[in-house]
Every structure is written in structure tokens, then in C-alpha cells.
Amino acid sequence: MCAADRHHYPGADQGPPGLALTFAADTGAVRTALTATMGWCRGLGLSSETVGGVEIVLAEVLNNIVEHAFAGRVDGRIALEIDRQDNALALRIRDDGHPMPGGSAPEGARPNLDCPLPELPEGGFGWFMIRAMTEGLGYRRVDGQNELSFRLPIGPREPRGGSGPGAGAG
């Protein structure tokens, strides 16, 4: 089950309150958390492209946590906090799973797409994509918890009525 608490974070002076979710570290709860988060993002009036980018990054990060930080465990919890800033969403994700190897987030590798599709390796591109789509990515281990923080730039808001194809037609 996904517990949600909507409240203002310090310094969040505009837009709806920040979003805070705490949920089980399993694929079903991740799907529920992603659905709730995308609804919150749409409520901000973010463009479809921006909302899609948030979903891609969060799905990759959260699924990595389930698969790697909680490998062999079924009791894990994940906490997600999002704060809307002027031109970005600031995210912080915490869990009490296994620490990142080497004490830092992986660099990721640029995918080599110069091969037949069936020969593409499974996995390994996620951290490259996460780093390419975020700003200020940081990882630390504090009091037995992993903490990953980053910013996702947000584009212009979706037009609200009166613009786009077919606007005004009737």
C-alpha cells in the first residue's frame, strides 16, 4: 500500500504542496507510487513531455532499488519526496536497503547501438539515462539509509484550453 502525505516543504512557495510517499519496496507498490506521482505532476500543469521524463527516471530509480538494494529481502520501504521549484522538481528518495557498490551511484555507460537488436545487452543503460536526464545527482549513505537526490528540469506548462489544434473550433 502507498501512504501519501501532501504538504509544503520549506521554500516551496508556488504551485501545489510537495509530494511525499512511503511505500513497500516491491514492483506493485512502485507502480502505485508512479501512478500517484504522475497524477501529482499533471496537477502541476507540467507538459506531457516533462511528465513522461519524470516517469522514466523514477521508474528506473525505483525499480533499481527494488531489484538491487532489496535483493533477497521482502521487508523494504521506500520514501519519495518531491518539491516543485521554479524550473525543476527536486527529488529525494530514501531506502534502508543494501548500500550502492563503492558508496556512489554508478556512472552508467553510453549504449552501443551499433549492433543488431537481438544482440543488445540486457540492462546497463539505466544509470546513463538517469544521469543524462537529471541535474545535481547525489548519493549518500546516512544512518543505515541510502539517499539519492537530484533535480529534474521542468519545461513549459501545458496550455489550458484555448490553444492547440482545434482550439476554438465548434
C-alpha cell at 68: 538491487
Ordered by start, the domain boundaries in the chain are 2-153
Task: Give residue 163's pLDDT.
Answer: 42
Task: Give residue 126's pLDDT.
Answer: 85
Q: Estimate the share of the chain in helix, then strand, then coil, as percent rounded to the nearest 5.
A: 30, 30, 40
Q: Look at the block and give the residue holding cell 545527482.
A: 137
Superfamily of domain 2-153 in the CATH hierarchy: Histidine kinase-like ATPase, C-terminal domain (3.30.565.10)
What is the rounded distance in angstroms from the CA atom of residue 11 to the CA atom of residue 150? 17
Does the pTM exceed 0.75?
yes
Task: Give residue 88's pLDDT.
Answer: 95
Cα separations (Å) of 95 from 28, 62, 115, 143?
Answer: 17, 10, 37, 11
What is the rounded distance in angstroms from the CA atom of residue 102 to the CA atom of residue 68? 14
Q: Kindly give the confidence (pLDDT) of every residue in the chain, 170 residues in length, as a single tens digit, with 9 standing for 90 and above.
A: 455 444 333 333 344 579 999 999 999 999 999 999 999 999 999 999 999 999 999 999 999 999 999 998 889 999 999 999 989 999 999 999 999 988 888 777 666 667 676 766 666 678 889 999 999 999 999 999 999 999 999 976 655 553 444 444 44
